[in-house]
Structure 1
Amino acid sequence: MSIWVMMAVLGAAFLHALWNSLLKVGASRMGAMVILSIGEVPIGLAVALAMPPLDWQVAPWVLGAGCAHFFYKLFLTYAYERGDLSRVYPIARGSAPLVVGLASPFFLPDVISPMEFAGIAVLGAGILLMAQGVFASGENRRLIPYALGSACATACYTLIDGQGARVAGDAVAYIAWVFVVDGVFFAVGMLAWKGFDVLPRQGRAWGIGMIAAAASYGAYAVSVWAMTIAPIAVVAALRETSILFAVLIGWLAFGERMTRGKALAALVIVGGVMLTRL
């Protein structure tokens, strides 16, 4: 992985932490996620229509990704309703790169070196250390199954998207169509289930939701583009540095506690990232 690809993935990691943090501002978590999903549709369409059309053989990958994203958003929303950004985010994101790393030798053509596997393992250990406060601090443990469900969905769409973008031959166009399908699936599904009362009435909530949608697209597109030119498991691990950004946002913006445990976990995560570069 080149230094430029690494920097691009780190930028995507910041955008991912940013849009997650915006879900905690103002509206209900579910309402914010529905707004974000609605905002994804015009963004995806605008990009998709400006690109050459994709072959129909990409359609199963796009639909599969849309389904995986539906469950990712659903589990993540319920987890955020029960816990802080700096607790839910590490658990939700932490298990995914380990699952991808273990699955990639069986399902993907990428060759992962022993050092890269070590980096993924260290990164996962740091993320788990970051999340230990759920038990140590007596926080709401009901967030855990939802956060783990989100992690499993993340692993699924990571594997789907990495291959789907390669089949498409155009990561930007592929992601655009995934955004359209993802946004329609989640918005329509939640409105059918929860009713229109789930939608916030405040203009500020809609503005924040649209900003979150744009940040989500940027984070997602860069990550999947990187997966087309670098090993999927390594990209998946590197982008989990978004946890560092999420912890800082939680501390500086939401007043969440910065403990020694969080600081130590942050150092372990950085160590894992460095191992993926050796």
Structure 2
Amino acid sequence: MPLSALALVIIAAFTHASWNLLAKRAADSRHFVWLYSAGTVLLWAPVIGLLFWHDAPQLDWRDGLALLVSALLHTAYSLALQRGYKVADLSVVYPMARGTGPLIAFFGAILVLGERPGWLAALGALLVVAGVFWLAGGPQLLRPGTDKRGLLWGVLTGAFIAAYTVWDGYSVKVLLLSPFLVDYVGNLLRFMLLLPRALADRAALWPEWLRYWKPALGVSVLGPLGYTLVLFAMQQAPVSHVAPARELSMMVGAWYGAKLLDEGELSRRLLAAAIIVAGVLCLALG
């Protein structure tokens, strides 16, 4: 993986973990996904305006279909993630989602995009996933009687992550769509899809805005910033390398969960983070 792509992924890891912390703190909000989608549409509109002013993209039906499917996948991912945060800890849902997604995306990039990662990259991907599984709780997650809701929502969210990772990788690498356009259209369509639901519950919408406007604006800035950086990294490196390398955000997420949300077990989480780092190094060298 080129160092420039790795640098983009590292920066994205911090932004991604940070906006997930904000989303966890707004887990009780029924319309948080719509609120930060609306914020994204407003805050990032000037960037898209500059993109069209400088070099207006010529879109055909394939591009339109790619953008539509991407938006649907991102909407499903956002709703599943927010539901997971409502019923379980950040330190369970986040690692399971981030660990399941790259593993599926790794094989998806091989099957769909025709990538052929070497054995060192494959080892790196497995180390990343193993570290994420240990970070989320390890074997105790599978014990009888353990609350499986965080595990199940995390895995479902991970499946959507894998789907949109491979799909968006195709969009920016093969169709050559702008990463800014892919992310913005996804947020715009998500805003429109969730608008009827928000308007039907207008009585709760304003109080939720008053309570959660700060984390919503934070996600509106950090979410698109982090994912756009990842899409630019995908243009420079194989998707099968970038997807697992994104799990550097687990180190940040582990620290947030243990220190800021009092979810405990910092030593185990740091050990798991070290395994993840080893995996990312294998990906970089591979």
Aligned to 1:188: 195
CA contact (8 A) 2:89 2:150 kept: no
Give TM-score, length-normalised by structure 1. Answer: 0.91
Which of 153, 160, 164 is matched with 2:167 structurally? 160
Structure-2 separation of matches of 1:198 and 1:3: 47
CA contact (8 A) 2:92 2:154 kept: no
**Deviation for aligned residue 1:41:** 1.7
List per-residue Cα deviations over 1:41-94 (Å, max 9, x = no partner). Answer: 223433222213331331111100111011101111111011111111000111
**Deviation for aligned residue 1:228:** 1.1
Aligned to 1:19: 19
CA contact (8 A) 2:141 2:148 kept: yes
Report the CA distance shift for 1:153/1:244 in structure 2 as closer, same or farther (over 3 A): same
CA contact (8 A) 2:77 2:157 kept: yes
| One-letter amino acid matched to 2:75 | F
Structure-2 separation of matches of 1:137 and 1:189: 40
Structure-1 separation of matches of 2:38 and 2:79: 15
Secondary structure of residue in 2 paired with 1:30: coil
CA contact (8 A) 2:27 2:86 kept: no
Give TM-score, length-normalised by structure 2. Answer: 0.88
Within 5 A, what are the aligned runs for 1:1-278? Answer: 1-25=1-25, 28-52=28-52, 53-54=56-57, 55-56=59-60, 57-132=62-137, 134-135=141-142, 140-166=147-173, 167-185=175-193, 187-188=194-195, 190-191=197-198, 195-199=201-205, 201=207, 203-278=210-285
Report how many residues are paired: 276
The percent identity for this pair of structures is: 25
Q: Which runs of 5+ in 1 are unaligned?
A: none
Measured on the aligned residues, the alpha-carbon RMSD in Å equals: 2.2
CA contact (8 A) 2:131 2:275 kept: yes
| One-letter amino acid matched to 2:51 | M
CA contact (8 A) 1:44 1:175 kept: no
Structure-1 separation of matches of 2:205 and 2:168: 29
Moved more, 46-55 or 23-32: 23-32
**Deviation for aligned residue 1:147:** 1.4
**Deviation for aligned residue 1:184:** 2.6
CA contact (8 A) 1:27 1:200 kept: no
| One-letter amino acid matched to 2:154 | A
Moved more, 261-270 or 241-250: 261-270
Q: Which runs of 5+ in 2 are unaligned?
A: none
CA contact (8 A) 1:83 1:139 kept: no
Structure-2 separation of matches of 1:114 and 1:228: 22
